Structure 1
Amino acid sequence: MAPVILVTFAGRQKRMEILTRYIQAAMDAGIIDEWHVWDFTRSQQDHEWVTCQFGPIRYMGSAALYQSAGSAAPNQPLRLSATITNDFHIAIVPNDDGDEYFELVVGGWSNSHSVLRKLPRSALKNFDRDDAATVWSRPTPGVLSPGAANQIVLNIDAAGIPSLHVNNVVIGQWADLDLSAGASIMVRGGWGADLELGNVRSRIQRFVGNPNEHMPYWQAYDFYAKRLRTYSDSIFLKCDDDIVYMDIEKLSDFIEFRRTNPKYVLVSANVVNNGVCAHWQQMAGSIPEQVGEFERPPGGFGGSLWQSAERANDLHDFFLKTDSKHLPLPSKVIEWKERQSINFIAWLGKDLVHMALPKGDDERALTVDLPELLDRPTAIFSDFTVSHLSFGPQENGLALDRLINAYDELMRSAIAV
């Protein structure tokens, strides 16, 4: 059976904690096989939470800062499988509580040289190396292979002397370094080189995109599109980090519909607090007029719900009071040829051949431009319901704490926690 991979663009802790419980329940039930958590956080606090909560690290954009990769100690080497073309950075942080660490740059300067530097630990948080002290350097032409995962072994012998092997070649040994107390190891790419670690076996994996991009999400689609051979048989789900309700019992039906209906480029869940879905929910009589009037958003984008905290509060309150936790659409499937919000969507791995998205608006690319190019519609699946907490314009005035508490209580009644 095709593996099911959930992709989430993380992550705001207060909103994402509820989603985490639902996903863990779905994984425990065998419905979802892997969860790929992409760190596109905007605050240091959220970044630290995602780093601690999810992992291990699987992929890093070239502008991402160091991430933990394990440890090494005498006669306990660290082994890594690293796909990278140049500038593989390894931070060796001694377990001596000192103020400095050692940085190995393997295949720097267009994969021509490698160096060892001694740096203050503050340099782990930046790329500034103007005052770096180089303690070792040698030519290493072609040390990193672009055609295979590079096998990296950082060894510390019984005397505490470290050495590095790359693809079974000894790159260096440093007798003047004493790592007899062991060291923590961190890694990153750099200078245009993304880094993928291939020895990650966890079902929950963490991906770190390049920071400070206004619309960074293309990075995730680009990652999967470049690995079409790996993922062509998979089924992908993508959900926002603020999905605060999920009908776990109907998730398998949603996945099966996605698998057996290849004519749709994307299939969306039936989403609470989604302009297009709210229109169809009201057309079916699932949302009474006293809750509000939910018009068809012009071209599928924006609309009064999208921009109104008051409307979002009223809709969430209505949904939370329903017994069924389901707002049916006029039919089991709504075919759609306009834009829609991609709060919870699914696509087939074989369609990654079309999904190397340009930088910019991934939602428009996936729901308007790509369906038009391929002459294939999208769809909304009525029988699988999720609830989406908020859009950006709704933030000012949303009863955030009250709604999160209510959805947390709903989650605890829906699944065993």
Structure 2
Amino acid sequence: MIDGKRVVAWTPYGRRRTYSILFQYLRRDFEDGLIDEVWLYMNTDPQGQEDDIAYAHQLAAEHPTWVQLKHRPEGVHLGHLPKQRYTGLAYREMTDPDTVYLRFDDDVVYIHEAAVENLVRARIQMPAPTAVFPIIINNAICSHFLQVCGKIPMEWGEVKPYCMDPTGWANGPFAVRLHEMLLDHIDAGTVPELYLYQDFPLQPGTQFSVSCFASRGEDYAALPEPGVLVPDEEESWHTIHRPLATGAPNILRGDAIVSHWSFFPQHPFLNNTDLLDRYRGIADKAVA
């Protein structure tokens, strides 16, 4: 618990390759008393992902007191949509008003040791936003603010404040440089040098890639149908529709840092490096 609130870290789960890195940090923060439960919301295909599914069940069996598998609600069908569209149904599980929910993509591959505590405290202290985001390395809007604050060289390519900016979202060599920058800071013990000098509000209606954010169970509990998002696409609801309805901007927190591995246009470039192996080695040391 943090400041009297339970903390549940949850993930739309599908890929063992990267989640096995993320899990090391979640285990560290559970053992440090910052996280109370870890949920894997199963967003897998029954065929072709047998190893991914087996790994999730293995984690739940090895850690039955704090790791839970969650599944799509029975009887709810969205038609022939890609599985990524089903993640908005997960919020039907998140209606405990005394819980802060931390969402992590299954390819978040680094969580700074101060990130969870700082992000949850910000979430508790600022009740108005729909979502409070950390600094996400490899997120276009975060890269824009990091560039504005002089943390990312403009020579790497200018990033505009748009979630699918051609440089910040689709440029593979730019993503490689971002990860190299963060990994060098991790190795040097200087990750806080990447902190922003303030929190930044995100104008209501600004779409933001939701690789990681903190939200409140009481907000989902207060919906006309508790936990039912309308529209049900989670990124649109959290970053466009809900902020426009409330008039409250989402917040980018300046002193919490995580790293998101890859958007699909970046895959060919990142997969041709040893960067994921470097992240895995650092994660293993975090719980050694």
Same fold (TM over 0.5): yes
Q: What one-letter code is carried by the residue in structure 1 that aligns with 2:54?
A: E
Instruction: Verify: 1:29 aligned to 2:32, yes or no.
Output: yes
Q: Which runs of 5+ in 1 are unaligned?
A: 57-199
Looking at structure 2, the residues matched to 371 and 37 of structure 1 have their Cα atoms a distance apart, in angstroms, of: 27
Instruction: Verify: 1:257 aligned to 2:122, yes or no.
Output: yes
Per-residue CA deviation, residues 15-69 of structure 1 (Å, 9 max, x unaligned), is: 111111000000000000111111112423212222222359xxxxxxxxxxxxx
269-278 vs 38-47, greater mean Cα deviation: 38-47
Equivalent residue pairs, number: 265
More helix by share: 2
Correspondent of 2:249 among 353, 374, 377: 377
| SS of alignment partner, residue 86 of structure 2 | coil
Q: CA deviation at 1:222?
A: 2.6
| SS of alignment partner, residue 381 of structure 1 | strand
Correspondent of 2:16 among 13, 22, 28: 13
- Contact 2:159/2:165, CA 8 A, preserved across alignment: no
- Contact 2:137/2:259, CA 8 A, preserved across alignment: yes
Q: 1:314 to 1:399 in 2, by over 3 A?
A: farther
Correspondent of 2:176 among 313, 324, 336: 313
Q: What residue in structure 2 maps to residue 208 of structure 1? A: 71
Q: What one-letter code is carried by the residue in structure 1 that aligns with 2:122?
A: F
Q: How does 1:209-248 map to 2 (within 5 A)?
A: 209=72, 213-214=81-82, 215-224=85-94, 228=95, 231-248=96-113
Q: What residue in structure 1 maps to residue 149 of structure 2? A: 284
Looking at structure 2, the residues matched to 380 and 339 of structure 1 have their Cα atoms a distance apart, in angstroms, of: 13
Q: What one-letter code is carried by the residue in structure 1 that aligns with 2:287?
A: A
Q: How does 1:73-84 map to 2 (within 5 A)?
A: none
Q: CA deviation at 1:204?
A: 1.0
Give the TM-score taking structure 2 as reference length.
0.85
Q: What residue in structure 2 maps to residue 393 of structure 1? A: 265
Q: CA deviation at 1:390?
A: 0.6
22-31 vs 260-269, greater mean Cα deviation: 260-269
| SS of alignment partner, residue 395 of structure 1 | helix
Q: What one-letter code is carried by the residue in structure 2 that aligns with 1:374?
A: T
| SS of alignment partner, residue 217 of structure 1 | helix
| SS of alignment partner, residue 248 of structure 2 | coil
Looking at structure 2, the residues matched to 49 and 31 of structure 1 have their Cα atoms a distance apart, in angstroms, of: 24
Q: How does 1:82-231 map to 2 (within 5 A)?
A: 202-209=65-72, 213-214=81-82, 215-224=85-94, 228=95, 231=96
Q: What residue in structure 1 maps to residue 195 of structure 2? A: 328
Looking at structure 1, the residues matched to 61 and 273 of structure 2 have their Cα atoms a distance apart, in angstroms, of: 27
Looking at structure 2, the residues matched to 55 and 276 of structure 1 have their Cα atoms a distance apart, in angstroms, of: 38
| SS of alignment partner, residue 347 of structure 1 | strand
Q: CA deviation at 1:252?
A: 1.1
Q: CA deviation at 1:201?
A: 7.0
Q: CA deviation at 1:394?
A: 1.7
Q: CA deviation at 1:359?
A: 6.0
Instruction: Verify: 1:416 aligned to 2:287, yes or no.
Output: yes
Looking at structure 1, the residues matched to 133 and 112 of structure 2 have their Cα atoms a distance apart, in angstroms, of: 14
Q: 1:401 to 1:365 in 2, by over 3 A?
A: same
Q: What residue in structure 2 maps to residue 346 of structure 1? A: 214
Q: CA deviation at 1:284?
A: 0.2
Give the TM-score taking structure 1 as reference length.
0.60
- Contact 1:7/1:237, CA 8 A, preserved across alignment: yes
Looking at structure 2, the residues matched to 17 and 281 of structure 1 have their Cα atoms a distance apart, in angstroms, of: 28
Looking at structure 2, the residues matched to 282 and 304 of structure 1 have their Cα atoms a distance apart, in angstroms, of: 12
Correspondent of 2:5 among 2, 23, 37: 2
Highest CA radius of gyration, 1 or 2? 1
Instruction: Verify: 1:41 aligned to 2:47, yes or no.
Output: no
Q: What one-letter code is carried by the residue in structure 2 that aligns with 1:403?
A: L
- Contact 1:37/1:205, CA 8 A, preserved across alignment: yes
Q: What one-letter code is carried by the residue in structure 1 that aligns with 2:121?
A: E
Per-residue CA deviation, residues 128-153 of structure 1 (Å, 9 max, x unaligned), is: xxxxxxxxxxxxxxxxxxxxxxxxxx
| SS of alignment partner, residue 7 of structure 1 | strand
- Contact 2:104/2:213, CA 8 A, preserved across alignment: yes
| SS of alignment partner, residue 238 of structure 1 | strand
Q: 1:318 to 1:334 in 2, by over 3 A?
A: same
Q: What one-letter code is carried by the residue in structure 2 that aligns with 1:237?
A: L
Looking at structure 1, the residues matched to 287 and 233 of structure 2 have their Cα atoms a distance apart, in angstroms, of: 38
Q: CA deviation at 1:365?
A: 1.2
Per-residue CA deviation, residues 136-185 of structure 1 (Å, 9 max, x unaligned), is: xxxxxxxxxxxxxxxxxxxxxxxxxxxxxxxxxxxxxxxxxxxxxxxxxx
Looking at structure 1, the residues matched to 127 and 60 of structure 2 have their Cα atoms a distance apart, in angstroms, of: 32
Bigger RCO (CA 8 Å, 6+ sep): 2
Q: Which runs of 5+ in 2 are unaligned?
A: none
4+ residue segments displaced more than 6 Å: none
Per-residue CA deviation, residues 218-272 of structure 1 (Å, 9 max, x unaligned), is: 2201333xxx3xx011111111111111112342122111111112111001110
| SS of alignment partner, residue 167 of structure 2 | coil
Looking at structure 2, the residues matched to 404 and 24 of structure 1 have their Cα atoms a distance apart, in angstroms, of: 19
Q: 1:205 to 1:37 in 2, by over 3 A?
A: same
Looking at structure 2, the residues matched to 201 and 234 of structure 1 have their Cα atoms a distance apart, in angstroms, of: 20
Considering only aligned residues, what root-mean-square deviation do their CA atoms show, in Å?
2.2
- Contact 1:16/1:242, CA 8 A, preserved across alignment: yes
